[in-house]
Amino acid sequence: MSLFDIPNLGIRAYDSPLPLNTVYGDQVCNFTPDTQHMHFSICDQPGRKENTSEYAYEEYTFETAGPRKKIFFDPTKTTCAIVTCGGLSPGLNNVIQAIVFELYYHYRVKSILGIRYGYEGLNPKFGHVPMELKPEAVRNIAEMGGTILGSSRGNQAVTIMADEMERLGIDILFTIGGDGTQRGAYELAEELKKRGQKRAVVGIPKTIDNDIVIIEKSFGFETAFSKACEAIQCAHTEAVSAWNGVGLVKVMGRHSGYIAAHAALALNEVNFVLVPEVKFELDGEKGLLNLLRKRLELRHHAVIIVAEGAGQDFFAADSGSDASGNVKLHDIGTFLTKKIGEYLKSISMDHTVKYIDPSYMIRSIPAIPSDALFSSQLARHAVHAGMTGKTAMLVGWFKNTFIHLPLCAIANQRKTIDPESHLWFSVLEATGQPMNMINTI
Amino acid sequence: MSLFDIPNLGIRAYDSPLPLNTVYGDQVCNFTPDTQHMHFSICDQPGRKENTSEYAYEEYTFETAGPRKKIFFDPTKTTCAIVTCGGLSPGLNNVIQAIVFELYYHYRVKSILGIRYGYEGLNPKFGHVPMELKPEAVRNIAEMGGTILGSSRGNQAVTIMADEMERLGIDILFTIGGDGTQRGAYELAEELKKRGQKRAVVGIPKTIDNDIVIIEKSFGFETAFSKACEAIQCAHTEAVSAWNGVGLVKVMGRHSGYIAAHAALALNEVNFVLVPEVKFELDGEKGLLNLLRKRLELRHHAVIIVAEGAGQDFFAADSGSDASGNVKLHDIGTFLTKKIGEYLKSISMDHTVKYIDPSYMIRSIPAIPSDALFSSQLARHAVHAGMTGKTAMLVGWFKNTFIHLPLCAIANQRKTIDPESHLWFSVLEATGQPMNMINTI
Amino acid sequence: MSLFDIPNLGIRAYDSPLPLNTVYGDQVCNFTPDTQHMHFSICDQPGRKENTSEYAYEEYTFETAGPRKKIFFDPTKTTCAIVTCGGLSPGLNNVIQAIVFELYYHYRVKSILGIRYGYEGLNPKFGHVPMELKPEAVRNIAEMGGTILGSSRGNQAVTIMADEMERLGIDILFTIGGDGTQRGAYELAEELKKRGQKRAVVGIPKTIDNDIVIIEKSFGFETAFSKACEAIQCAHTEAVSAWNGVGLVKVMGRHSGYIAAHAALALNEVNFVLVPEVKFELDGEKGLLNLLRKRLELRHHAVIIVAEGAGQDFFAADSGSDASGNVKLHDIGTFLTKKIGEYLKSISMDHTVKYIDPSYMIRSIPAIPSDALFSSQLARHAVHAGMTGKTAMLVGWFKNTFIHLPLCAIANQRKTIDPESHLWFSVLEATGQPMNMINTI
Amino acid sequence: MSLFDIPNLGIRAYDSPLPLNTVYGDQVCNFTPDTQHMHFSICDQPGRKENTSEYAYEEYTFETAGPRKKIFFDPTKTTCAIVTCGGLSPGLNNVIQAIVFELYYHYRVKSILGIRYGYEGLNPKFGHVPMELKPEAVRNIAEMGGTILGSSRGNQAVTIMADEMERLGIDILFTIGGDGTQRGAYELAEELKKRGQKRAVVGIPKTIDNDIVIIEKSFGFETAFSKACEAIQCAHTEAVSAWNGVGLVKVMGRHSGYIAAHAALALNEVNFVLVPEVKFELDGEKGLLNLLRKRLELRHHAVIIVAEGAGQDFFAADSGSDASGNVKLHDIGTFLTKKIGEYLKSISMDHTVKYIDPSYMIRSIPAIPSDALFSSQLARHAVHAGMTGKTAMLVGWFKNTFIHLPLCAIANQRKTIDPESHLWFSVLEATGQPMNMINTI
């Protein structure tokens, strides 16, 4: 019995229609035993079991994702639904397409609904009618950015959503969204359990910032930092084409600067990378402005990437929250543009500052092929889990393996860049940026 | 004698080193006779000579561009220089490269200077030292956006620039820039004439907005509207992925909406195109806001492109000028974003507005191949003209032919979209936008 | 009365539903008078009328394309059809989409058929059923390469096609294809005239080689040479990464080397451009092989572009014709690869030859934005012409203007590169290739 | 002491110039202890230690890559060299650039040589003079495909190469290449050991096919399959645009079909994926030709991807080896094109087959950003290893961690697709291809 089984699931009465078996060595792919877990123990000395120094011993056990031999839902009578929530991320349509193809062609589930405009589509008051999702409807969507279902921010009341699932006869709901969405999904799954209903909620984690704990890669992230590189090259071109030209690019990254760091590493053209995880000061000897001045004196151009969540401590007041419950960020990009201009003017340094905010041109593009592939693999595994009767879980990627995680595991936590990591050190190397930009350290 | 000859030029003493001849039919390309002009008469009835109705008769005569048999400057003793001025435009490096290659390899001029940072580089007070431009220095620059010479806005005093040309021994100065730059080039050429110096100033017109009169295509324009299409597709994706989603894109176009119009025609995904040439109102039955509401009610998403120079009459105060002497434009993009948000809120329409300003991501990219080719052809013709001893002129493109124009011909005029043109009508057809958005018409 | 009117057309009884007028200066676009022609006289001296030297005087008169005030076909009762023939070219789907949009939304023609698989679709024996083309069917096709209608080579008997037009009630047939297709279209139009039927056949010229006479630009050509540049850059990379590396790329161009020439000019990385218009030899002092050897000795890498129709005189035997009636070309690419390898081996020169044939990766991609725009403008003008009751004509582009040409005007002729033109001279300059590669000249 | 230390290394006398430390929690990145290993034990049940079923228990121990506190080579006196061997792969220039930057800026090694044209550059008989690699020489190479050093196939005699290393004073040689290259590197390291020389040879594994054992990702692979997707989309467009159109694409993959499989999964447009790991027949009920016929009857188009190493058993004779010692493959692409054409003709099925071989357009492009990043991280770790005095090893990537592997570990083995894996099963799902295409199974 799995941690993720719908309560009182009973036996799984149906044979999977997938043409796999359980024989190793016959050249036919095998079902994943439902009891299978991946247990990773990683230590810095073979045989070591105790944690004698930091980072020295880590141990993880996760249920392995994959198709099961016995499934819970009868494909001929099952209705599935897909909902996409929150901000856009490349790969959403790939996930939708792969869920539909897997369900329709391989599990032979013919009733698939597309819930419109995020969780709003599960609240009748908005009047968004679900789409029927046949293969023809999703055949050509993978080359398109965005989500054909539409999205919205914020959760709806779980009782309303549970009612609507019941009304629409949805047996399995696939929730594609970030931590807010999956928190909502978790509560919805709990509500369904409370009602004693054998309906599943399976999450597919979406975070363009790549900031979900445990999960080593989220779909859309590679596309995002790849596209960010284009904007940074433009900033670089603007910078070198002017005397003391400064190119400043704001990229996504509310809590985690992975897009900024990865783009900087992919390019070798960036001089400062400002991320939420590493504080920096503007003024003083070690502050950004003085360092920028020195860089300009040396090379007469500079490129700065700032993650949107960096430098929020420069702003006094709180700016409220959006519908997703995310704290509204102060605009560090225009703030820095202004500060840099004022400073360079104050020291009578001729200069030009060009500020680029490419966010909507990043998040709305189609997935690059590696992300397309990854998105569709995630989706297939979500379908396997759902059809098996698992709920309140999401599919993740860890050490080159697809795994199952509890929906609640990712709540209230973030994966962030460790300033002591080699990733961050590589950024410092690639940029020449000093290890700290705080005057008192 | 040509209109563009340096005054008191005397005879052209040198044979062109180019391997052309003047024999037709021998499979060898011919020199362009220096007296050759293209005379276009275009009428709407064969034989008609008088202008009996509008648009019915047009007549143009232009000196034909091309390599001349006799040249004025001795390649072995000539120093040429290149300067790039004003905002970036795709193709600048292609022009630089092609000038250097044509001079160095074909005319065998070995002394070529790259003036740094626009006209600032001709004013010693800035201390920008010219680069020597050998083929090796420009071999790989065509794949790079921007200008390897750097640029700046605004003109320097012509007496200072003329002194500097003399000091550096520059015989031919190639000025790559917009109408402000070419106005400066014209004054510089006049100053050189006044001093009785046999130095040439040859302009290569640069306008990413494609707004120079007579000239049917400017380098960088195709790249610009092609790249703008990407931003608009992102706006479209954002719009369709939200309930009543509005995607708003601001593109370049201070006086002329060609980028906006061409991008809209290339895409068929745009609902409103706002350009400087066509006034529009926000309020009232026929105003943008009401039309937008109707569009959203019908299809629940909308895409708007606005050229930066559109709607400037919404702003009361003047906002001064920049260093190039261009009036500073009010930011119509953020203005519209705010107005649209307020209006839709006021009528209680749930909505999302996403605003994209891709300008710096457009103007700083490398030229697409068609622009690369066009840029280098323009540059070759500028070299032919300069070596022949022509001055105060620029090279243009008209009816599929390269021509010479007086530098002063393009000053104080703009090519703009005629609202009665088929181009604009096609935009109205492609968008469904009404012919007028003024309540009183 | 126009040259292109359907015989015995009678009066044009219907007002165009387009919201244009005939008043100049009222900011509303004007109908094009049906008698309007563009008359171009281009001479090399203002006032000259006689042809005193070659290239000195040219005169052209063409009927101007554009929407007419009075149309012949009643939109409510008209059936239109579109057929795409011959090899793929970028922009086909843009043409299809724009025809459908113009007919449906602007002329309000609701009956539009898509003939499947070229002229085969007008021959019942193939059993290809026409598609109904509503706007929804073509909404997202512009981002796709190829043709949603399918294509085939060769013409069908005109009597069969005329019968089928009658059976399907097609009033206007838009034929998108090359010179073979338009020859078929011409014969079909003649057959319909002979039958006294008031049905129109309007051609939209397609030639990825850009080799149709008079017409200065064909749709798909810019996309094609742009994409060819990518292949050539790969060949260049392969060449420079090996000792005496030779990169050879075969591009399209059966009779005309425009793609090869334009790509070479856009790149500045090519050493030899071999086109059908300019003969070359392999052996001897001036032959390609010896020149290649010298180039390799100097720089240790070389890039060669060959148009598919170049060097056909190296092959003794005829290789027959394809279904379009085109002579089957011998494969000059593999021939040269072999010859170069054998020669370099014979002189004991270590070397590597990499041969790239990107043809199908060029012709099947979507149109770049400039081509997308051009394709849709062509298509709109074809619709205007068809609805007005014109037949046996095609829409072209000449001196920046859309015009009407007789279908028969383009038959049995080719636009080719003049070896004496500045275009070809620029290619010689950009490559360093000698003006002739024939030993006896 | 590490497995990889140069024999008789003695103590590491120099402090690393990198600004790291060994304190955890101080926000400063830490040196990697030289004794650190990653020990992975992965089992399917927590606590399980024995291998009770297949795939159930795996255990790996690898030395961890990373910068060491003490280094062996004195940066002020060390000469490093870089050599690139074998076929091109995206990312080569990124590796070169990152090695130079890391050595020059961070370890402050000022003497860096670029060996030209692979191992030929270490054999004086070829006369290739090494390049000096300063940062300026590699500043802009990351956007270029290929290798600025040039490459060649095959190994040179190790005694000659060892002599040349001595003559040039090379202390550390970085060998970038595939398994043949690394076999050569291994022998060279052994030769140096035999001579008692304290010189290091550090490998950076290159395989565009992603077929090196243990290593989960090789640089260039993501770029390769991403670009392959473009070719496949073209094949798809060609196929759907013709009646019974067949698009056939040959991709790289001598022994392993990863590029084919990944591209097929990223696209969802492919019907058959033929790889070296899975045998298939042409004829008979279950053979490819019959399956293709059925597909065409159903949908009238089909797309096939074939890895170059697939179907070699169809060819009788051996075709020899190339300079790298690789068996020369028979051309399965043209073979299949011919067979398919003959078969469809034999059953009188009208059809069109378009064959695309994009190999040189894939391997010669610049790395996409994710590969650029990965390449430079690999390179940094190779530098850390080399400076520490390790030899006969290569840097790899395993379970999200950079590790050290013995050069000999990868010899004579290949990573191939397991037909029982979920990867292959996903390919079957995505294509609809049957699990076996052998008539007797």
| Substitution target from B237, B356, B365 for chain A, most A beta carbons within 10 A | B237
Q: Is A295 on the interface with B (CB under 8 A)?
A: no
For residue B51, give the amino acid letter.
N
Q: Taking CB atoms and an 8 Å limit, are B243 and A128 in contact across chains?
A: yes
Q: Is the Cβ–Cβ distance between B255 and B206 less than 8 Å?
A: no
- Chain B residues with CB under 8 Å of A128 CB are 243
> Do residue A196 and residue A100 come from a single domain?
yes
Q: Taking CB atoms and an 8 Å limit, are C40 and B38 in contact across chains?
A: no
Q: Taking CB atoms and an 8 Å limit, are B361 and A360 in contact across chains?
A: no
- Region of A175 (left: φ > 0; alpha: ψ -120 to 50; beta: rest) is beta
CA distance A83 to A39: 32
pLDDT in tens, A176-228: 999 999 999 999 999 999 999 999 999 999 999 999 999 999 999 999 999 99
CA distance A317 to A265: 33
> Do residue C372 and residue C353 come from a single domain?
no
Q: Is the Cβ–Cβ distance between A419 and A436 less than 8 Å?
A: no
Query: What residue numbers bound the domain in which B352 lies?
Result: 222-364+419-431
Close Cβ partners of D194 (under 8 Å, ≥ 6 residues apart): none
Residue A436: inside a domain = no
Q: List the single residue in D235, D355, D361 with the smallest CB-CB distance to C358.
A: D361
Provide the β-strand partners of residue A303.
Answer: A247
Residue, of C325 and C434, whose pLDDT is higher: C434
Given the residues C179, C209, C211, C371, select the one marked as catalytic.
C209
Close Cβ partners of A381 (under 8 Å, ≥ 6 residues apart): A65, A66, A395, A402
- Chain C residues with CB under 8 Å of B43 CB are 38-39
Residue C1: is its pLDDT beyond 70?
no
Interface of D with C in 27-86 (CB under 8 A): none
Quote the minimal CA–CA distance from B150 to chain A in Å: 4
Q: Which residue of B has its CA nearest to A300?
A: B150
- Chain B residues with CB under 8 Å of D141 CB are none
- Output the DSSP codes for D178-208: -HHHHHHHHHHHHHHHHTT---EEEEEEB-T
Q: Is the Cβ–Cβ distance between C402 and C395 less than 8 Å?
A: yes
Across residues B234-257, what is the average pLDDT? 98
* pLDDT computed for residue A51 by the predictor: 47
Q: Which residue of A has its CA nearest to C140?
A: A140
> Do residue B205 and residue B232 come from a single domain?
no
pLDDT in tens, B119-156: 999 999 999 999 999 999 999 999 999 999 999 999 99
Q: Is the Cβ–Cβ distance between B177 and B110 less than 8 Å?
A: no
Q: What is the DSSP letter of C366?
A: P
Pair of tokens at residue A213: 């704990």
Q: Is A140 on the interface with C (CB under 8 A)?
A: yes
Quote the minimal CA–CA distance from B2 to chain C in Å: 13
CA distance D378 to D317: 40
pLDDT in tens, C11-27: 999 999 999 999 988 98
Half-sphere exposure of D136 (CA within 13 A, CB side): 2
Query: What b/e string do you get for A396-415 counting C-beta neighbours within 10 Å, with b at 16 or more?
Result: bbbbebbbbbbbbbbeeebb
CA distance D151 to D130: 13
CA distance A410 to B419: 57
* pLDDT computed for residue A38 by the predictor: 81
Q: Is the Cβ–Cβ distance between A42 and A431 less than 8 Å?
A: no
Q: Is the Cβ–Cβ distance between C352 and C166 less than 8 Å?
A: no
CA distance A304 to A247: 6
pLDDT in tens, D374-424: 999 999 999 999 999 999 999 999 988 999 999 988 877 899 999 999 999
Phi, psi angle pair for B204, to nearest 5°? -120, 110
* pLDDT computed for residue C301 by the predictor: 98
> Do residue B116 and residue B159 come from a single domain?
yes
| pLDDT level of residue A54 (50, 70, 90 thresholds) | very low
* pLDDT computed for residue A37 by the predictor: 84
Q: Is C143 on the interface with A (CB under 8 A)?
A: yes
- Chain D residues with CB under 8 Å of B143 CB are 143
Residue A9: inside a domain = no
Pair of tokens at residue B152: 């700046």
| pLDDT level of residue D49 (50, 70, 90 thresholds) | low
Residue B25: inside a domain = yes
CA distance D369 to D174: 23
CA distance D44 to B100: 67
Q: Is C209 a catalytic residue?
A: yes
CA distance B41 to C43: 9
Three-class DSSP category at B224: helix
Q: Is B234 on the interface with A (CB under 8 A)?
A: yes
Residue C153: inside a domain = yes
| pLDDT level of residue B297 (50, 70, 90 thresholds) | very high
Pairing of strands A245-251, A352-356: parallel
Q: Which residue of C has its CA nearest to D350?
A: C126
* pLDDT computed for residue A248 by the predictor: 98
Across residues A324-349, what is the average pLDDT? 94
For residue A4, give the amino acid letter.
F
Q: Taking CB atoms and an 8 Å limit, are C146 and D241 in contact across chains?
A: yes
> Do residue A379 and residue A342 come from a single domain?
no
* pLDDT computed for residue A50 by the predictor: 52
CA distance B251 to B375: 22
Which chains have 3+ CB pairs within 8 A of A? B, C, D
Compute the mean pLDDT over every residue in chain A, rounded to the nearest whole number: 94
Pair of tokens at residue D315: 């060819």
CATH assignment at residue C119: 3.40.50.450
How far from the centroid of its chain's Cα atoms is residue C33's Cα?
Answer: 28
Quote the minimal CA–CA distance from B291 to chain D in Å: 39
CA distance D32 to D16: 12
pLDDT in tens, A10-21: 999 999 999 999
Residue C38: inside a domain = yes
> Do residue B145 and residue B113 come from a single domain?
yes
Residues of D recognised as catalytic: 209
* pLDDT computed for residue C51 by the predictor: 47
Domain count, chain D: 2
Quote the minimal CA–CA distance from A160 to chain B in Å: 20
B-to-C residue pairs, Cβ atoms closer than 8 angstroms: 188
CA distance B57 to B39: 13
Quote the minimal CA–CA distance from B240 to chain A in Å: 7
* pLDDT computed for residue D2 by the predictor: 79
> Do residue C25 and residue C102 come from a single domain?
yes
CA distance D60 to C318: 64
| pLDDT level of residue A327 (50, 70, 90 thresholds) | confident
pLDDT in tens, C355-372: 999 999 999 999 999 999
Residue C439: inside a domain = no
Of C302, C289, C300, residue with least CA distance to C249: C302
Q: Which residue of D has its CA nearest to A368?
A: D226
Query: What b/e string do you get for C243-279 counting C-beta neighbours within 10 Å, with b at 16 or more?
Result: bbbbbbbbbbbbbbbbbbbbbbbbbbbbbbbbbbbbb
User: Could you give the ipTM of this predicted complex?
Assistant: 0.94
Quote the minimal CA–CA distance from C130 to chain D in Å: 14
CA distance C192 to C183: 14
Residue A348: inside a domain = yes
Give, in degrees to the nearest 5, the angle at Cα C18 between C12 and C22: 75
> Do residue A187 and residue A237 come from a single domain?
no
Q: Is the Cβ–Cβ distance between C432 and C229 less than 8 Å?
A: no
Pair of tokens at residue A381: 């595994």
Pair of tokens at residue B366: 């490398």
pLDDT in tens, B411-420: 778 999 999 9
| pLDDT level of residue C59 (50, 70, 90 thresholds) | confident
| Substitution target from A144, A223, A241 for chain B, most B beta carbons within 10 A | A241
Q: Is D243 on the interface with A (CB under 8 A)?
A: no
- Chain A residues with CB under 8 Å of D48 CB are 39
Q: Is the Cβ–Cβ distance between A147 and A174 less than 8 Å?
A: no
**Inter-axis angle of helices C221-240 and B369-388, nearest 10:** 80
Of B96, B14, B74, residue with least CA distance to B380: B96
| Substitution target from A93, A136, A140 for chain C, most C beta carbons within 10 A | A140
The beta-strand segments (E) located in D275-366 are 301-307, 352-356
pLDDT above 70: percentage of residues in chain B: 97
Q: Taking CB atoms and an 8 Å limit, are C88 and D238 in contact across chains?
A: yes
How far from the centroid of its chain's Cα atoms is residue B14's Cα?
Answer: 33
> Do residue A238 and residue A166 come from a single domain?
no
Q: Is the Cβ–Cβ distance between A319 and A264 less than 8 Å?
A: no
Q: Which residue of C has its CA nearest to A141?
A: C140
Across residues A27-53, what is the average pLDDT? 73
> Do residue D297 and residue D328 come from a single domain?
yes
Q: Taking CB atoms and an 8 Å limit, are D241 and C147 in contact across chains?
A: yes
Q: Is C349 on the interface with D (CB under 8 A)?
A: no
- Chain B residues with CB under 8 Å of C38 CB are 42-44
Compute the mean pLDDT over every residue in chain C, rounded to the nearest whole number: 94
Q: Which residue of D has its CA nearest to A21?
A: D420
Q: What is the DSSP letter of D249?
A: E
> Do residue D303 and residue D169 come from a single domain?
no
Q: Is C26 on the interface with B (CB under 8 A)?
A: yes
- Output the DSSP codes for A307-334: ETTTTGGG--S---B-TTSPBPPP-HHH
CA distance C215 to C403: 9
CATH assignment at residue D247: 3.40.50.460
| Distance (Å) of CA A234 to CA A231, A260, D206 | 5, 15, 31
Q: Is C139 on the interface with A (CB under 8 A)?
A: no
Pair of tokens at residue D229: 């997707």
Quote the minimal CA–CA distance from B39 to chain D in Å: 45
Residue C54: is its pLDDT beyond 50?
no
With 0-12 CB in 10 A as exposed, 13-18 as middle and 19+ as buried, what is A127?
A: exposed
Phi, psi angle pair for C410, to nearest 5°? -95, -5
pLDDT in tens, C259-292: 999 999 999 899 999 999 999 999 999 999 999 9
* pLDDT computed for residue A156 by the predictor: 96
Quote the minimal CA–CA distance from D423 to chain C in Å: 28
Residue C437: inside a domain = no
- Region of A199 (left: φ > 0; alpha: ψ -120 to 50; beta: rest) is beta
Phi, psi angle pair for D48, to nearest 5°? -65, 140
Residue B50: is its pLDDT beyond 70?
no
* pLDDT computed for residue B45 by the predictor: 62
Q: Taking CB atoms and an 8 Å limit, are C234 and D360 in contact across chains?
A: yes
Phi, psi angle pair for B202, to nearest 5°? -120, 125
> Do residue C127 and residue C247 come from a single domain?
no
| Distance (Å) of CA D60 to CA A61, D43, D63 | 17, 12, 10
**Inter-axis angle of helices C158-168 and C179-194, nearest 10:** 70
Given the residues B5, B179, B209, B371, select the one marked as catalytic.
B209
Q: Is A8 on the interface with D (CB under 8 A)?
A: no
